[in-house]
Amino acid sequence: MIDANNLLIALAHLKCAVYELPFTSGCSYGTFSALETEELLETLTAIGNLHKANGKYFWMDEDYPASLISLRNASSQQITLVVESKNTKQSTIGQVDLESSYWMVHPGAIYLHSGDPYLVKDLDLKGFRAVLKPALGDYYTEAEKQTSYTELERYQEEPIPGGKKHLGKIQLTTRVTGFKKIKWHPYEVLGKESLDLPSTNLLSTGCWITLSQDTENQIRSMGLWSSSSNDYGTGWDTIRKTVLERDQHRCQMCKNNSPGEPLHVHHRQPFRSFSSIADANKFSNLISLCPRCHQRAEAIVRVNSGIRGLGHILHGLAPLLLMCDPGDLGLFADFQSPFGDNRPIVLIHEQIPAGIGFSKFLFDRLPELLNSSKDLIENCPCETGCPSCVGPGGELGSGGKQETQAILSILCS
């Protein structure tokens, strides 16, 4: 299932091979043809690793190539982690790849090494080093990222029950915008801080599912909103009246008045996704809607809840099918995204530059992954969702389990 012809990996292997024995023009390497091998050798020559003379390629770099190749990732750029002690001496405790450094060792981050916490004082991207010091706090940090997805090329596309499956080349643009400080016990958010770091781009491959309009209509029409009524707090009546007056007793979606039928006050972000009633009932999160528009808005939440639940379960099972680390795969699930032709989408992509064949394997074995997901969710004893199946219940305003089951029943039909 692994594509050994990933160019970053192939170039690294070729460096080691030429170091051991010079290559002659016209020879092939691995599954590469003689012409493809020649192109790779010329690339290494152009960047100064090799020297060509009398039809042969010789290693000319002073470094031993195998010592510079990481067995943990394909990136050639590493950030050295340096710890400062009280006596101003510095010691190196390890390295992280450049791409991971933005969220692992950004300024202010808590980095764990051998069970000991370290506070990151500075991240020098030009000098490829991060300066750390022993941390005394009882908290850890969690980076906040913004990621956009762009489809560069679609390799394959096939119809499946309820939608389509796709395989293609994608670009991820990610920017770490800040981080949260979280107390170890009882996991309380102590504060948030902003960061000004550059964006990073990852060119890789992905496999994604888009749902058809018919499937979306079926989920909408099932009326799966099975959650119990919410307790909006003792001051809800006053808040509701204030919102209606602010919106001039007019539906903010269709802009029509509704004589004879009362307007509803809708939470933009689902009420159940908040831990605080006060935060959920902020005026910026409330909007006046007529009953018809309110029904549409809640139907969107139901479909979105099912899409995210589907993404959670597929992303959880895919590493077992691929026999890879969960961190090798990324997930993007959305109700309506330009990436997925404005259709509900679940994308599983490789976190490895250029990809190593995981996406192609998932594309070919997607029915097996979907059926395994259906079996798992049907045999999970939880009622509305849990981390073992579709994710914690109530995160998106609905449990997510019934919606996800409905989507899987269509995709597996």
Greatest mean pLDDT among 41-45, 260-264, 287-291 lies in 41-45
Domains: count for the chain: 2
> For residue 397, is pLDDT > 50?
no
Same domain, 166 and 311: yes
What is the pLDDT, as a whole number, of residue 229? 54
Domain presence at residue 117: no
- Shared domain for 220 and 357, answered yes or no, is yes
Question: Which range of residues forms the domain containing residue 332?
Answer: 148-174+199-413
Residue 44, domain member (yes or no): yes
- Residue 77: predicted pLDDT: 80
Report pLDDT for 268: 82
Confidence of residue 76 (pLDDT cuts 50, 70, 90): low
Binned at pLDDT 50, 70 and 90, residue 75 comes out as low
| Domain annotation covers residue 87 | no
Q: What is the pLDDT of residue 234?
A: 84
The token pair that represents 127 in the structure block: 């000098």
Q: Write phi, then psi, for 288 (nearest 5 degrees).
A: -85, 130
Contact 69, 91 (CB under 8 A): no
Instruction: Please tell me whether residues 390 and 256 are part of one structural domain.
Output: yes
Contact residues for 145 (Cβ-Cβ < 8 A; gap 6+): 103, 174, 175, 176, 177
Residue 32 · residue 40 · CB < 8 Å:
yes
Residues 40 and 158 in one domain: no
Mean pLDDT within 252-269: 76
One domain for residues 259 and 350: yes
Last residue in a domain, options 25, 53, 68 = 68
Give the per-residue pLDDT at 289.
87
Please give the sequence-ordered ranges of beta strands (E in DSSP) within 60-128, or none if there are none.
Answer: 78-84, 90-97, 110-113, 116-124
pLDDT at 318: 96
Say if residues 214 and 116 touch (Cβ distance below 8 Å): no
CB 286 within 8 A of CB 244: no
320: confidence class by pLDDT, cuts 50, 70, 90: very high
pLDDT confidence of 330, banded at 50, 70, 90?
A: very high
Digit-coded pLDDT (tens) for 214-253: 988 887 777 553 334 567 888 898 999 999 999 888 888 8
Residue 271: predicted pLDDT = 77
CA distance linking residue 139 with residue 24, whole number of Å: 57
Starting at the edge strand that comes first in sequence, how are the strands of the sheet with 23-24 ordered? Answer: 23-24, 56-59, 50-53
Mean pLDDT for 328-338 is 86
- Evaluate whether residue 29 is within a structural domain: yes
55: domain CATH number? 1.10.10
Co-location of 53 and 166 in the same domain: no
Which pLDDT score, from 0 to 100, does residue 354 have? 86
pLDDT at 102 over 90: yes
